[in-house]
Amino acid sequence: MPVIIDNQLKEQIPYEAIYPIAFYEHELETLPQWSGPFHWHPGFEIATAETGVLDYQVGDKHIILNAGDSIFVNGNVLHCIRQISGKIPDPMPNMVFSGSLIAPEGSLIYEKYISPLQQCDELPFIVFAAGNQSLQKINVLIREIYHCFRNPCTCSEMTIQRNLSHIFEYIYSNMSCFPRYKSNRIQLLNQIRLQKMLDFIYSHYQEHITLEDIAHAGNVSRSEAGRCFKTFINSSPIEVLIQHRLQIAGKMLAEKIYTVKEISDFCGFNSVNYFRRQFKTKYGVTPGKVPYLGK
């Protein structure tokens, strides 16, 4: 069974229980180097590359999405996004939604068609390639949903629900045909550990935290924490901590409300000079240069 861990991202998804879906667009352009952090959420996700080429990492798998390709990501699966080609940030329309939008939890439809997918550890993602003619209908359904969010009209909510039902009907009917990604017990355990350690970083980045603190959050040794981060993220725990602090700092700088010192203190850096050095090393400019947000 997928593991549900409370985290900041879950709290930031603002869909309501009465209509549990959230639509996002143009998120990449707000992120340094057009790259987002590892995150997860209980809801399913569908995202599309519109103009550029995206590296959509799910767990330890890297999936390349070319313009027009879409991806379905299962719930509670670690994933992150990075644009690797294109002169402008990809709009990357995407939606995060609960299966209860299609049918109430506990209902026959939910238990028969939604739960089996939620509980399938071997199916963390599905790619709907634009060049695959057999998937053309699915990609049309996805784009119709985006259109409903961008241009809401009478019955938009029903159109979105209907299209998602068609998509899930297709997935359920073809589950045996999709590539499977089997994970052994150790791999699943390491994902749980990483989620716990990332949750600790995202919740305590403003504080003075050490490698030992991060490892303790995952109930592992410091060396095992390092191996876990290296396997999934190819970075050390401290590098991920610094990167997260810099991403938060970047968003605050773009708001042009706070001073560099205020941002440095808020994000947990022990000195303004250290913050400036880390920022320039990562983005090639000092914190005072707000247009760092591009590539």
- How confident is the model over 90-117, as pLDDT tens digits? 999 999 999 999 999 999 999 999 999 9
**Model pTM above 0.85:** no
Distance CA 198, CA 192 (A): 10
Distance CA 248, CA 268 (A): 10
Element (H, E) at 11: helix 8-12
Contacts of 248 (CB under 8 A, 6+ apart): 205, 266, 267
**What does the pLDDT average to over 264-281?**
92
* Position with higher pLDDT, 289 vs 33: 33
CA neighbours closer than 13 Å in the CB half-sphere of residue 14: 2
Is the domain spanning 8-177 CATH 3.30.70.270? The answer is: no
- Residue recorded with tokens 């017990």: 185
Record the tokens describing residue 284, joined without a space.
């090639």
- pLDDT tens for 127-140 read 999 999 999 999 99
Which amino acid, residue 124?
Answer: P
pLDDT(222) > 60: yes
Selection from 93, 90, 95 nearest residue 28 by Cα: 90
Q: Do 241 and 214 form a contact (C-beta atoms < 8 A)?
A: yes
pLDDT-derived band at 290 (thresholds 50, 70, 90) equals low
Distance CA 193, CA 230 (A): 13
Tell how far CA 23 is from the center of its chain.
13
State the helix-helix crossing angle for 136-150 and 156-173, rounded to 10 degrees. 160
* 245-250 contacts at long range (C-beta below 8 A, 24 or more positions apart): 245/205, 245/269, 246/32, 246/278, 246/279, 246/282, 246/283, 247/31, 247/32, 247/37, 248/205, 249/275, 249/279, 249/287, 250/31, 250/32, 250/283, 250/292, 250/293
pLDDT(2) > 50: no
CA dihedral 25, 124, 248, 272 (to 10 degrees): -150
For domain 185-293, give the CATH number. 1.10.10.60
| Count of Cβ atoms closer than 10 Å to residue 211 Cβ | 15
Cα-Cα-Cα-Cα dihedral sign, residues 126, 128, 132, 138: positive
Q: Delimit the domains of the chain by residue range.
A: 8-177, 185-293
- pLDDT tens for 13-63 read 556 668 999 999 998 888 878 888 888 899 999 999 999 999 999 988 999
State the helix-helix crossing angle for 272-283 and 237-255, rounded to 10 degrees. 90
Q: Do domains 8-177 and 185-293 have the same CATH topology?
A: no
To the nearest 5 percent, what fractions of the chain are helix, strand and coil?
A: 50, 15, 35
pLDDT of residue 100: 94
Distance CA 78, CA 37 (A): 10
